[in-house]
Amino acid sequence: MLGDLVAGALADAARRREQRPLAAVEADALAAPAALDALEALAPSDRIKVIAEVKRASPSRGALAAIPDPAALAAEYAAGGASAISVLTEERRFGGSLDDLVAVRAAVSIPLLRKDFIAEPYQVLEARAAGADLVLLIVAALDDATLASLHALIVELGMTPLVETHDADEVRRAVDLGASLIGVNARNLSTFELDRDLFGRIAPLIPDGTIRVAESAVLGVDDVIHYRRSGADAVLVGEALVTGGNPRAALERFREVS
């Protein structure tokens, strides 16, 4: 599944590159306003931080929410106290687009994560041109050389890489990379099964001074409490916010967890 998602994302990027060449996107990226400081926004504090996600669908759950106005949803997230907003831009299985990211950027002034299957520099430059402050890098999808080069490019452009891991070996690769922001995803991207306790097992491998983000398997306050007690500085939440009916109230409850 992960290989198919990466291949599809690269094919879509190739299509966009035909319409807008690399040089033009690079010029847009370099001309964009400076990226916001995501590490400051997500820095550990006495209460957990929340990255709220604009998410229409997923391969495991199918359609979740139509989200006709992602900017309006993002504004609700910001009003509810989200520390950052994740925008899924993958088109085929998640129903997102770069247009969503552009719309959200125009609506809020907190850091934005481009969440997609990033595997080449063109996608990183697109993210910066569209206003992203963070870019997701999935360790399982990348060899060491590609991971290092993309990480370096993201940092060079003033953005922050969120380096996503799923097991102890991937955490070690992220640490060796010098990642400042490491996520642990409870969802196995090959089988799409969830393991909420995965974070607690491998988070101790993440060194002090690195921001720890728990991803997936957050359906309510109890899950946020579970992750916080396991050492999470932040949680990334999508499904619970887009399906719950009142994202601002849900965020306010999550943010109370200390």
Residue 189 confidence (pLDDT): 74
Hey, is 163 helix, strand or coil? Answer: strand
- Reported as a single tens digit per residue, the pLDDT across 228-255 is 999 999 999 999 999 988 999 999 999 9
- Residue 257 one-letter amino acid: V
| Average pLDDT score over residue span 37-45 | 97
Q: Which domains does the chain have, with CATH numbers?
A: 1-256 (3.20.20.70)
- Residue 91 one-letter amino acid: E
**Residues recorded for the chain:** 258
Catalytic member of 76, 90, 164, 170: 164
* Chain center to CA of 135: 7
Say what the alpha-carbon torsion angle 20, 24, 29, 33 is, to the nearest 10 degrees.
Answer: -110
Q: Which tokens sit at 217?
A: 């398997």
Residue 59 confidence (pLDDT): 84
Rg (CA), the chain: 17
Hey, is 223 helix, strand or coil? Answer: helix
Determine whether 188 is an active site residue.
no
Residue 246 confidence (pLDDT): 93
pTM listed for this prediction:
0.96
- Reported as a single tens digit per residue, the pLDDT across 110-151 is 999 999 999 999 999 999 999 999 999 999 999 999 999 999
Catalytic member of 58, 97, 115, 188: 115
Residue 193 confidence (pLDDT): 83
Catalytic member of 58, 83, 185, 230: 185
Determine whether 115 is an active site residue.
yes
Q: Which tokens sit at 18?
A: 């035909």
Residue 209 confidence (pLDDT): 95
Spatial distance between the Cα atoms of 182 and 164, rounded to a whole number of angstroms: 6
Determine whether 215 is an active site residue.
yes
List, in sequence order, every beta strand (DSSP E) within the chain: 49-54, 57-58, 62-63, 84-88, 112-115, 134-138, 160-165, 181-185, 211-215, 234-237
Catalytic member of 120, 170, 215, 239: 215
Residue 61 confidence (pLDDT): 83
- Reported as a single tens digit per residue, the pLDDT across 83-119 is 999 999 999 999 999 999 999 999 999 999 999 999 9
Hey, is 119 helix, strand or coil? Answer: coil
- Mean pLDDT value across the chain: 96
As beta bridge partners, residue 153 has none
Pairing of strands 57-58, 62-63: antiparallel
